[in-house]
A and B are shown apart, each in its own frame.
Chain A
Amino acid sequence: MPKIEVSREDLFRMAGMDDPGDDELAAMLSLVKGEVDSSGGDRLKLELNDTNRPDLWCVEGVARALRCYSSGPEEHLARLPQPAAEMIVDGALEQVRPFVAAFTACGWAPDRSGLEALIDVQEKLAASFGRNRTTAGAGFYRLDEIEFPVRYRAAEPDVSFVPLGEDKEMTLSEILGETETGRTYAHILEGAEYYPVLQDARGAVLSFPPILNSQTTGRVRPGDSRLFCEVTGTDWETVQLTATILACNLEDRGSSIAPLRVVYPDGHSGETGGCPVIFADSMETTLGRIRSVLGTDLSASRVVEALRAMDYASVRVEGTTVLGVLPPYRRDGIHQVDMIEDIAISLGLGSFQPLLPESFTRGRSAPVEELADSVRLLMVGAGFEEVLRPVLTSMEKVLDMTGTPEPPVAISNPMTREYGVVRNSLLPGLLEVESASAHASYPHRTFESGEVLTAAGDGSCATEVMIACLVCGNDADFGDVHSVLGHLCRSRDIELSLTPVEDPRFVPGRAAAVMLDGCVSGTVGEVHPAVLEAWGIARPASAFELRLDCLKG
């Protein structure tokens, strides 16, 4: 979930309201699916739960939602002038970082905290929405130092300029290898033949996107009221929506936005046109569908009013059809249910009276769970303590320490080796209990019933529910667990027989395949001293493990 940190004063000034205090704010944030994460002094940390609404991951977006909810929808990026400047795209970037969007914003002169807020949005959008600057990354510049047209061109790795925060000229490869930011994001351009740079008409390098801006043009200072903004990336929609959101934010701050014309060469997948793009996604539903989803009859006027409070660009009802157009900073309406949810949020969930379904249904336990219940009770009756162990374990515990005949299925991206495989047997878990419990009074009679993952020869895996038990103490022997098997089988009316097997986990001659009603169902034996030694267990032990469903009888 995206988290942002904002200034309270800034938030409420932009929202056009007095600070209502934390409780009231928490209630208001349900409008943006947000929560107060922490608050102290002027700083407010918010968590925004909607991963499809990047427009809300900034103080401007949250303030806009609160403002429109109380005073109605606003016009965004309306009546933009014709593009006066151009951005020319180099076709060679098609394989590297094909898309770019840009505009200028003049009027608002950010102070220090305003500038911080601006950089926060830029970073947050690039990190979360732009997938760590891959699909989109943005930059701001001092407009007056730039001569148009700006070129977005493919450069050789030895092109050099003075990057932000450095005092000397560096080549593009040096920037990737030697600056901290360069190393962090170098993977985005890995394997590229050319690197993207933005250069103005005089050839001055503005930046090396998405890595670093230039020290001269790419350093915006408090008081700079004339800005140039660009977004580059690998995904057209992410690039455009990022630019549109930034433009709406700057407009809300008081800047006038002027679009740029981005010119792509023939045959490029980008389409020549003006930026920022004014998205106007149309949504359509019916009063009937609204009723069936929300369970409440809503009049046309209430629906219109509710959607206007959510800043819809336009809403109208024709007959029973409801037509809404999303504001330009939103592209998350992909089905009519999305618009219907906006109506519910606008009206407040508290305005819907809860109901219980009236139809009759039968409650039933899953057969395997019912069987597990009865076997677990038999084990408890036989004096066994139930344990519960993690499903993920290590290759070492399963193979090296226990000697399980079949290898477990491994995780290809384990967090740690300790949890690098999926258990295929419950016995290592029970042995681990023994090795951790030498100080607990004896005898130890433990069992677990639980899921394991077994792999068939063809690589397909299946979840199986197993039951295993282990007896450990000074005089524990084969007879201890054999008698428990007998107890389970008598209780379940199953015929038990044993077939001797060789199994490295058990003492030779004291290990057997367990046959239940004639089917191989598991293994029983006295634990081999080598296994006990590997686990650091100082007393003899015996154990069995069965497939639970074989005890169905």
Chain B
Amino acid sequence: MTDERDLHPLEKALLAHLEVNGRSTDRRMIEESGLPDEGSYRRAVEWLLSRGLVRELAREERELLQLGPLGLSNLEAGMTPEMAMMRHLSSGPSTLQEIQEDDTFDRGRWGSAFGALTRSGTVSREGDSIRLTADPSHSVFQDIWETVYVPLSEKGSIDMSDLSGDVEELVRERSPRRGRGRAEFVIVSVADRTIEITGEGLDALSRARSTVTIGAITPSILADGSWRDAKFRRYSLDIPPSQIHTGRLHPYRQFLDTVRKRFIALGFSEMRGSIAENEFWNNDALFMPQFHPARDIHDVYYLEAGAGVPPPNEALQARVAAAHRDGSGTGGRGWGYDFSRSRSLQAIMRSQGTALSARTLASDPDVPGKYFGIARCFRYDQVDSTHLPDFFQVEGIVLGEDINLRHLMGLLALFAEEIAGAEDYKFLPGYFPFTEPSVEMHILHPALGWVEGGGAGLFRPEVCLPLGVEVPVIAWGLGLDRMAMLAMGLDDIRDLVTPDLARLRSIRVRPDSLLTGKGE
């Protein structure tokens, strides 16, 4: 035996066909051998040729005609632009401008159709007026539909030698060798071989017939024990595996899950809040003055009148209002303006994760305490490749009797390494209305280079004291979308929330390297 592998059922069927017919051609065998389809035939014949069980006697080049992109769109429209133009003109003369108003085809294609019809003498132009000069029903442009498009809509390809002279000429004219992306037709050359069964082929076939070979193992084969006397057909083990679609977590959610786990591992408790907030928790409690530009109507989404978020208790509102007005109870002089209590209750979409921290500080937090939250926040921006209307932000706070700037920097360094996968980092003075001192961290990301690693600081006494917290509090926040895009290999932020399942399935992530974006 020349090959260890047993005959595949397809090979066996093809050999049996050749045994009867002696020799045949590719074209005939595709239609007559009884194999399920052309692909099965081609696989079987290649296997048999490579094993010497059949041989090639002769080869004839043949041309097959297929539809190109323009042809496919004609098929979809149910006609070619030439046919459509002839139809327009069959009810009387018209102008190119008028015909071009029909948006079945674009202006350029109407123009080319006019050119083709003019050259063939089917239409002529006087001034702007175009009219028919020949009977459209006998035109080659009509024949091409019947003899080319209709059969191609059923078969996918037809033999060029089956076409009549003028149709063939037109088809060749419209089958450019280059620029197939805009072609009406595509001609591909295929070889039609004459194949003959060899002596080894006949032997292999008779051997295959004399032994029972088992393909799929079935329950009945196991039950009747017939496998004991049979031979298992050997499989080709080098073919690529087929693809399966499985259940799967969303890649961005996996990224967020990883961030959550890191924070929990560092001893932080998770905070949760509401996607809609009132201005009190989103801004006022954070000592952002009501005239602060970031609170502008062009920066925050306001909920419609009548929609509300439960108000904070009266005493708390009064303390925060006092802190804004004159700083009373905080050791400062406040912002010195007329604080509006009603403005404070306006419902908005949460614009910063720090709103979570404000709520936590006001609800008797643990001291010492460490909290974090991943918050979906909303920004007033046009959606484009770098902006979504909502984004995820992670926020962390640390409360303690003796917490100070040095601990802030120590924690930031820890976050840089643990959460952002940074190789190096530096601290710069920053500005946030709710922290003082404020620090901006820049991190050396393994893939992004130096990037912003989040804003941080010690909450101002004007934030903590009215909320009932007397110890210093460190706060840190970071937007996560950009890091996630990197981890997922995306360059368009809209892909993070894509509705396209095929696109989503193509996004690969490795949870072990999500935070650094590099394989480890």
Is A445 within 8 A of B331, CB to CB? no
Determine how close the nearest CB of chain B comes to the CB of A284; give it in whole angstroms. 10
| Cβ–Cβ < 8 Å partners of A416 in chain B | 382-383
Q: Name A405-444 residues within 8 Å CB distance of B.
A: 409-416, 418-419, 422, 429, 432-433, 435-437, 439-441, 444
A168: Cβ under 8 A from any B Cβ: no
Q: Say whether, besides A354-B413, A356-B414, A33 and B275 are in contact (CB < 8 Å).
A: no
Cα(A49)–Cα(B429), bound, Å: 9
Q: Say whether, besides A391-B378, A435-B499, A437-B502, A295 and B404 are in contact (CB < 8 Å).
A: yes
Q: Name B439-462 residues within 8 Å CB distance of A.
A: 439-440, 458, 460-462
Is A382 within 8 A of B247, CB to CB? yes
Determine how close the nearest CB of chain B comes to the CB of A451; give it in whole angstroms. 5
Cα(A345)–Cα(B437), bound, Å: 9
Is A387 within 8 A of B404, CB to CB? no
Determine how close the nearest CB of chain A comes to the CB of B363; give it in whole angstroms. 14
| Cβ–Cβ < 8 Å partners of B331 in chain A | 335-336
| Cβ–Cβ < 8 Å partners of B409 in chain A | 349, 352, 354-355
Q: Say whether, besides A295-B407, A436-B499, A440-B502, A391 and B429 are in contact (CB < 8 Å).
A: no
A267: Cβ under 8 A from any B Cβ: no
| Cβ–Cβ < 8 Å partners of A415 in chain B | 380-382, 389
B59: Cβ under 8 A from any A Cβ: no
Determine how close the nearest CB of chain B comes to the CB of A476; give it in whole angstroms. 15
Determine how close the nearest CB of chain A comes to the CB of B221; give it in whole angstroms. 30
Identity of the chain B residue whose Cβ is nearest the Cβ of A445 in the assembled complex: B247
A340: Cβ under 8 A from any B Cβ: yes
Is A437 within 8 A of B500, CB to CB? yes
| Cβ–Cβ < 8 Å partners of A386 in chain B | 248-250, 253
Cα(A391)–Cα(B350), bound, Å: 12
Cα(A429)–Cα(B497), bound, Å: 10
Q: Name B228-280 residues within 8 Å CB distance of A.
A: 245-250, 252-253, 257, 260, 263-276
Determine how close the nearest CB of chain B comes to the CB of A203; give it in whole angstroms. 37
| Cβ–Cβ < 8 Å partners of B227 in chain A | none
Q: Say whether, besides A366-B272, A422-B349, A445-B247, A392 and B390 are in contact (CB < 8 Å).
A: yes
Determine how close the nearest CB of chain B comes to the CB of A128; give it in whole angstroms. 8
Is A446 within 8 A of B501, CB to CB? yes
Cα(A410)–Cα(B500), bound, Å: 26
Determine how close the nearest CB of chain A comes to the CB of B100; give it in whole angstroms. 29
Is A461 within 8 A of B276, CB to CB? yes
Cα(A381)–Cα(B369), bound, Å: 36
A51: Cβ under 8 A from any B Cβ: yes
A453: Cβ under 8 A from any B Cβ: yes
B165: Cβ under 8 A from any A Cβ: no
> Interface with B: A159-167, A368-376, A513-521, which one?
A368-376
| Cβ–Cβ < 8 Å partners of A361 in chain B | 267-269, 366, 368-370
Contact with B along A89-119 (1 / 0, CB 8 A): 0000000000000000000000000000000
Is B502 within 8 A of A439, CB to CB? yes
A201: Cβ under 8 A from any B Cβ: no
Determine how close the nearest CB of chain B comes to the CB of A452; give it in whole angstroms. 8
A380: Cβ under 8 A from any B Cβ: yes
Determine how close the nearest CB of chain A comes to the CB of B418; give it in whole angstroms. 12
Cα(A272)–Cα(B437), bound, Å: 38
| Cβ–Cβ < 8 Å partners of A80 in chain B | none
Is B378 within 8 A of A392, CB to CB? yes
B309: Cβ under 8 A from any A Cβ: yes
Q: Say whether, besides A293-B458, A295-B404, A356-B411, A383 and B247 are in contact (CB < 8 Å).
A: yes
Identity of the chain A residue whose Cβ is nearest the Cβ of B403 in the assembled complex: A357
Cα(A501)–Cα(B410), bound, Å: 58
Is A387 within 8 A of B400, CB to CB? no
Cα(A350)–Cα(B425), bound, Å: 11
Q: Name A341-397 residues within 8 Å CB distance of B.
A: 341, 344-345, 349-350, 352-357, 359-366, 368-369, 373, 376, 379-392
Q: Name B292-328 residues within 8 Å CB distance of A.
A: 292-293, 297-298, 301-310, 327
Is B276 within 8 A of A409, CB to CB? yes
Determine how close the nearest CB of chain A comes to the CB of B520; give it in whole angstroms. 23
Cα(A439)–Cα(B304), bound, Å: 38
Cα(A51)–Cα(B404), bound, Å: 24
Cα(A376)–Cα(B267), bound, Å: 24
Cα(A52)–Cα(B335), bound, Å: 11
Task: Name, among A30, A381, A418, the residue most crowded by chain B CB atoms within 10 Å (CB to CB).
Answer: A30
A493: Cβ under 8 A from any B Cβ: no
Is A463 within 8 A of B257, CB to CB? no
B398: Cβ under 8 A from any A Cβ: yes
| Cβ–Cβ < 8 Å partners of B276 in chain A | 409, 422, 453, 461, 463
B510: Cβ under 8 A from any A Cβ: no
A334: Cβ under 8 A from any B Cβ: yes
Identity of the chain A residue whose Cβ is nearest the Cβ of B252 in the assembled complex: A388
Q: Say whether, besides A33-B430, A335-B461, A411-B301, A355 and B270 are in contact (CB < 8 Å).
A: no
With an 8 Å Cβ cutoff, the count of chain A residues facing the other chain is: 88
| Cβ–Cβ < 8 Å partners of B298 in chain A | 413
Is B309 within 8 A of A388, CB to CB? no
Contact with B along A495-520 (1 / 0, CB 8 A): 00000000000000000000000000
A271: Cβ under 8 A from any B Cβ: no
Identity of the chain A residue whose Cβ is nearest the Cβ of B269 in the assembled complex: A364
A296: Cβ under 8 A from any B Cβ: yes
Determine how close the nearest CB of chain B comes to the CB of A475; give it in whole angstroms. 17
Cα(A295)–Cα(B410), bound, Å: 12
Cα(A437)–Cα(B407), bound, Å: 49
| Cβ–Cβ < 8 Å partners of A51 in chain B | 292-293, 431, 433
A192: Cβ under 8 A from any B Cβ: no
Identity of the chain B residue whose Cβ is nearest the Cβ of A435 in the assembled complex: B499
Determine how close the nearest CB of chain A comes to the CB of B214; give it in whole angstroms. 31
Is A337 within 8 A of B461, CB to CB? yes
Is B247 within 8 A of A363, CB to CB? no
A474: Cβ under 8 A from any B Cβ: no
Is B431 within 8 A of A52, CB to CB? yes
B496: Cβ under 8 A from any A Cβ: yes
Cα(A433)–Cα(B327), bound, Å: 51
A21: Cβ under 8 A from any B Cβ: no
Is B307 within 8 A of A349, CB to CB? no
Determine how close the nearest CB of chain A comes to the CB of B190; give it in whole angstroms. 29
B406: Cβ under 8 A from any A Cβ: yes
Determine how close the nearest CB of chain A comes to the CB of B19; give it in whole angstroms. 40
Q: Say whether, besides A33-B429, A409-B307, A440 and B269 are in contact (CB < 8 Å).
A: no
B96: Cβ under 8 A from any A Cβ: no
Is A352 within 8 A of B264, CB to CB? no
User: Could you say which of B307, B369, B496 contacts A461, with CB atoms under 8 Å apart?
Assistant: B307
Cα(A422)–Cα(B297), bound, Å: 17
Identity of the chain B residue whose Cβ is nearest the Cβ of A237 in the assembled complex: B336
Cα(A436)–Cα(B499), bound, Å: 6
Determine how close the nearest CB of chain A comes to the CB of B444; give it in whole angstroms. 15
Task: Name, among A33, A429, A455, A461, the residue most crowded by chain B CB atoms within 10 Å (CB to CB).
Answer: A461
Closest 9 CB pairs of A and B: A335-B332, A295-B404, A295-B406, A359-B368, A354-B410, A440-B502, A380-B247, A363-B264, A437-B501
Which B residues contact A (CB, under 8 angstroms)?
245-250, 252-253, 257, 260, 263-276, 292-293, 297-298, 301-310, 327, 330-336, 347, 349, 366, 368-370, 376, 378, 380-383, 388-390, 398, 400, 402-407, 409-414, 427-431, 433, 436-440, 458, 460-462, 472, 496-502, 504-505
Extra 5 A-B pairs, beta carbons < 8 Å, given A336-B332, A411-B301, A441-B502: A353-B406, A386-B248, A387-B501, A392-B349, A463-B275
Subset of 25 A-B contacts with CB under 8 Å: A51-B431, A51-B433, A292-B404, A295-B407, A335-B327, A335-B331, A337-B460, A354-B409, A354-B412, A355-B410, A357-B407, A363-B263, A363-B370, A366-B271, A369-B270, A387-B501, A389-B497, A391-B275, A409-B276, A413-B297, A413-B302, A414-B301, A436-B501, A439-B502, A444-B501
Which A residues contact B (CB, under 8 angstroms)?
30-31, 33, 49-52, 128, 237, 292-296, 334-338, 340-341, 344-345, 349-350, 352-357, 359-366, 368-369, 373, 376, 379-392, 409-416, 418-419, 422, 429, 432-433, 435-437, 439-441, 444-446, 451, 453, 455, 459-463
